Amino acid sequence: MVEMLNVTGIGKSFGKKEALKRVSFHLNKGETVLLLGKNGAGKTTLMQILLDHYKPDTGKVEWELHHRNHHVGAVFQEASVMDRVTVKELISYTQSLHINPHSLEDILHGSNLHDLQSVRTEKLSIGQKRQLLFALSLVGRPELLILDEPTAGMDVLARKTFYERIRELKKQGITIIMTTHLLEEATKLGERVLLLDEGVLLEDRSVASITQQCKRVSFTLSYSSEELQRKLEGKGVVFVHNKEFTYETAQVEAFMEWMVHERIPFTNLTIEQQTVDQYFEQMVQEGGEAHAGLV
């Protein structure tokens, strides 16, 4: 795969607040990468550094694009657009800034803005402004899209249209990095997920590897004893309540063989695929321990 950008050891502080702590990752051409994290995790700060709006205190960002400003489209978290102009006028103005822009018809078709082209921008809802900003980010035929919470404020229909457009752009080979706090977007859109928590990059994994690897085994003991509980805890099995236990593993068969070999008196055993949502919720909950090892 061809690298489009490489981020190495990025750190950024605002006063005493350390927003990013030695963050490193790369972005391959044609990938769609979701940057997940709670509010305040450092997602927007990282995006602003990628767009050269902030300078990092430490580390560097290396690009493979020779004329970066002409090949990058961006949507910022704040849904602010030029006012006292119509949607069509703003699109036309943005077209004038690019050498080979998309046509007005292509822009309107890809963003569901046909019925709004004569509306003044200050009359638009937050969600409609998001749709317009996304459309404007595509005017110059970018190779890379940097999207900071682009679906915030969109209604269900607008979000569905956005998802469909992202899938079209992926087929065209456009590289996308997008921040979100909505875990559903990781499974719908992302091929790879980065998880930020309190400025630390906790995880950098493909969605496929998560869904293939994470399984949860739940079972009940037909009887219990302190010796049995010590044996299960030593294996990393988690006590839920009463005589119920769970164990998360990529090696279900090996765990079952261990249960049989150790004569664990289990009943009501179920195996379920852990979702990406569950996986990352667990990662954030365990973030304190992860920080201790990464910071």
pLDDT in tens, 204-231: 988 877 766 667 788 899 988 888 988 9
Q: How far is CA 254 from CA 209, 219, 234, 248, 250, in A?
A: 19, 16, 16, 12, 9
Instruction: Look at residue 280 and tell me if it is in a domain.
Output: no
Question: What is the predicted pLDDT for the residue at 75?
Answer: 93
**58: in domain:** yes
How far is the C-alpha of 151 from the C-alpha of 174, rounded, in Å?
19
Residues 152 and 200 in one domain: yes
Residue 290 pLDDT exceeds 80: no
Give the span between the Cα atoms of 250 and 284, in whole angstroms: 20
**Tens digits of per-residue pLDDT, 94-107?**
999 999 999 999 99
Q: Is 258 inside any structural domain?
A: yes
Same domain (yes/no): 130, 204: yes
CATH code, domain carrying 248: 3.30.70
Query: Do 222 and 181 belong to one domain?
Result: no
Task: Evaluate if residue 195 carries a pLDDT over 70.
Answer: yes
Are 239 and 201 in a shared domain? Answer: no
Contacts 24+ apart (CB under 8 A), 279-285: 279/210, 279/214, 280/36, 280/183, 280/186, 280/193, 280/195, 280/203, 281/183, 282/248, 283/195, 283/197, 283/202, 283/203, 284/38, 284/195, 284/197, 284/202
What's 47's domain CATH number? 3.40.50.300
Percent of the chain whose pLDDT exceeds 90: 54
Same domain, 44 and 78: yes
284 falls within a domain:
no
State how far the Cα of 209 lies from the Cα of 276, in Å rounded to an integer.
10
- List CB contacts of 227: < 8 A, sequence separation 6 or more: none
Q: Which residues pair with 241 in a beta bridge?
A: 244
Neighbours of 121 (CB within 10 A): 19
In a domain, 283, yes or no: no
Give CA separation, 270 vs 232, 267, 291, in Å.
17, 9, 33
Whether residue 197 is found in the same domain as residue 267: no
CA distance 144 to 70: 10
User: Taking the CB of residue 56, how many other CB atoms lie within 10 A of it?
Assistant: 19
Mean pLDDT, the chain, rounded, equals 87
CA–CA separation, 287 and 200 (whole Å) = 9
pLDDT level of residue 276 (50, 70, 90 thresholds) = low
77, 110: one domain: yes
Model confidence over 109-135: pLDDT tens digits? 878 899 999 999 999 999 899 999 999
Please report which confidence band the pLDDT of residue 293 belongs to, taking 50, 70 and 90 as the band edges: very low
Report if residue 98 sits inside a domain.
yes
* Separation of first and last alpha carbons in the chain: 30
Task: Please state, for a pLDDT cut of 70, what percent of the chain lies above it.
Answer: 87
Between 275 and 57, name the one with better pLDDT: 57
**Is residue 291 included in any domain, yes or no?**
no
Give the pLDDT of residue 289: 47
> How would residue 73 be classed by pLDDT, with cut points 50, 70 and 90?
very high
Say how many domains are in the chain: 2
* Residue 198 maps to a domain: yes
Please indicate, yes or no, whether residues 222 and 202 belong to a single structural domain of this protein: no
pLDDT at 246 over 80: yes
For residues 240 and 166, state if they share a domain. Answer: no
Report pLDDT for 295: 34
In a shared domain, residues 205 and 222: no
Q: Are residues 181 and 60 in the same domain?
A: yes
- Model confidence at 186, pLDDT cuts 50, 70, 90, reads low
Q: What is the structure's pLDDT at 200?
A: 95
User: Mind listing the pLDDT tens digit for each residue in 14-67?
Assistant: 999 999 999 999 999 999 999 988 888 999 999 999 999 999 999 999 988 655
Q: What would the mean pLDDT of 242-262 be, rounded to a whole number?
A: 87
Amino acid found at 256: M
Full domain range(s) for residue 91:
3-209
Q: Do 40 and 80 reside in the same domain of the chain?
A: yes
Which pLDDT value is given to residue 66? 58
